[in-house]
Amino acid sequence: MEFELRPIKAVPPAEIDFDSLGFAFIPTEKMFVARYAGGKWTDHGLIAVSEFWMHPAGGALHYGQAIFEGTKARLTRDGEIVLFRVEDNARRMADGCRRLMMPVYEEGKFVDAVTQTVLANKEYMPTADQGAMYIRPVMFASGPVLGVKPADEYLFLVFVSPVGPYFKEGFKPIKLKISKEYHRAAAGGVGCVKAAGNYAAGMYPNSLAKEDGYAEILYLDVDNKHFEEVGAANFFLRKGDELATPSLDDKTILPGYTRSSVLQLAADEGLSAVARDVMLEELYEADECLCTGTAAVITPIGLVEVDGKEVTVGDGGVGKYSQIFYDKLNAIMLKEAPDKYGWVMTIGKK
């Protein structure tokens, strides 16, 4: 291989307390590596999870050509290892690469790389109750650039880490804070792709929300008129029989796969499931609000702070449909309910 690696010592599975996993990287055995140079991708396949050296002028370091994905493998109660909508992660990364002028890693190969990495580390797979195997595909410009332009060399990696259940103390509503000062994205920008820089930009406003006792910022559009999304999750608001989520038309919002799954499940429940501008004023009349994403699947929102005042959403508890979507999605993900839409891919057994 044409880059220098320093293997990181894997933690043997026998030394991991799988019953108290959090969300932090535990070094597993293998990661997948592909390198783009000379105008083409070369797969180096599975190697020991390693550190590697970066060129000081590496494009990702200066100009932020870096993008990632996040998905999970779960273990069914029959011992099958399953992925959820992973082709959609592949497509989203490809779309993001085009937007950031990075070379697309072919979608079928992306799915294959994820599969190989999970299976190579299957001894680290927690049970369904203990958590999941979190999968992190990431691509960044490794080659040197000085002027602002796309780099000539890139690395694509996939690594995995066991993670705990998102709701350790049960499924409870969270408190969010609306910021009229900080915004996540503007039309024409890169809000709709998983550019690494989007998350850097969110860290400061997020820290302010946390200091005040809120879980995250609930972002509005740049004119502070309608909802956009939460730092790393999509937003939904239900009033009566309508479940609405902000539309993707302005390209300011990440098209989450939990989001599109919930739109489908809501329609199946007989709700009118719509993507449209969801106005800030609607919060005061909402029966229920929730956010969706790979990490938590569904997170009910019990309270929102806006303009210094706290607004209780519905009765402040877990909304009726939040519970239904949470139970249904988890059942589908664990092959305990019919997979009508072909969202689940079985890749092997533990």
Which residues have a catalytic role annotated? Answer: 194
Quote the longest CA-to-CA distance of the chain. 59
Contact 69, 77 (CB under 8 A): no
Of 29, 153, 229, 288, which lies in the binding site for ligand PLP, with binding defined by CB under 6 A?
Answer: 229
Using the CB atoms, write b or e for 317-350: b if 16+ within 10 Å.
ebbebbbbbbebbeebbbbeeeeeeebbbebeee
Decide whether 21 or 262 has the Cβ nearer to ligand PLP: 262
Q: What are phi and psi of 218, to 5 degrees?
A: -105, 110
Q: Which residue has the tokens 């509005």?
A: 220
Q: Is 292 in the site for ligand PLP (CB under 6 A)?
A: yes
For residues 168-197, which are near ligand PLP according to CB under 6 A? Answer: none
Minimal distance, residue 192 CB to ligand PLP, in Å: 9
Q: Tell me 171's DSSP state.
A: S
CB nearer ligand PLP, residue 120 or residue 193: 193
Which stretches does DSSP call E strand in the chain?
5-7, 30-37, 40-48, 50-52, 66-68, 71-75, 80-84, 132-141, 154-163, 174-179, 216-220, 227-230, 233-239, 242-245, 272-275, 288-293, 297-306, 309-312, 344-349
**Could you tell me the CA-to-CA distances from 318 to 47, 71, 285 in Å, in that order?**
44, 25, 16
Q: Can you tell me which of 28, 142, 206, 234 binds ligand PLP, judged by CB under 6 A?
A: 234
Residue closer to ligand PLP by CB (options 81, 233) is 233
Cβ of residue 64: shortest distance to ligand PLP, in angstroms? 16
Stretch 42-101 residues interacting with ligand PLP (CB under 6 A): 70
Kindly indicate which of the ranges 55-63, 250-258, 268-276, 338-346 contains the residues binding ligand PLP, using the contact rule CB under 6 A.
250-258
- Regarding 256 and contact with ligand PLP (CB under 6 A), the answer is yes
Q: Using CB under 6 A, pick the residue from 245, 258, 299, 322 that binds ligand PLP.
A: 258
Q: Is 293 in the site for ligand PLP (CB under 6 A)?
A: yes
Token code pair at residue 256: 């989450």
CA angle 323, 127, 86 (to 5 degrees): 70
Which of residues 102, 174, 243, 254 is near ligand PLP by CB under 6 A?
254
- For position 257 contacting ligand PLP by CB under 6 A, the verdict is yes
Q: Does 246 bind ligand PLP (CB under 6 A)?
A: no
Given 294, 299, 321, 326, the residue binding ligand PLP (CB under 6 A):
294
Residue 254: name the closest of 178, 182, 185, 154 by CA: 185
Q: Looking at beta carbons only, is 55 or 226 nearer to ligand PLP?
A: 226
Which of these segments, 74-82, 204-212, 227-235, 321-329, binds ligand PLP (CB under 6 A)?
A: 227-235
| Backbone torsion region of residue 184, taken as left when φ is above 0, otherwise alpha when ψ lies between -120 and 50, otherwise beta | alpha
Q: Which of 72, 259, 319, 344 binds ligand PLP (CB under 6 A)?
A: 259
CB nearest ligand PLP: which residue?
A: 256
Instruction: Give the nearer residue to ligand PLP in terms of CB position, either 11 or 248.
Output: 248
Write the CB contacts of 94 (distance below 8 Å, at least 6 apart in sequence). Answer: 104, 105, 107, 110
In the numeric block, the tokens 């029959």 are attached to: 78
- Name which of 63 and 257 has its Cβ closer to ligand PLP: 257
Alpha carbons 139 and 28: distance in angstroms, whole number: 19
Q: Which is nearer to ligand PLP, 120 or 232 (CB)?
A: 232
Does 135 help bind ligand PLP (rule: CB under 6 A)? Answer: no
Q: How many residues bind ligand PLP (CB under 6 A)?
A: 13
> Is 322 near ligand PLP (CB under 6 A)?
no
Please count the other Cβ atoms lying within 10 Å of the Cβ belonging to residue 52. Answer: 14
Interface residues with ligand PLP (CB under 6 A)?
70, 229, 232-234, 254, 256-259, 292-294
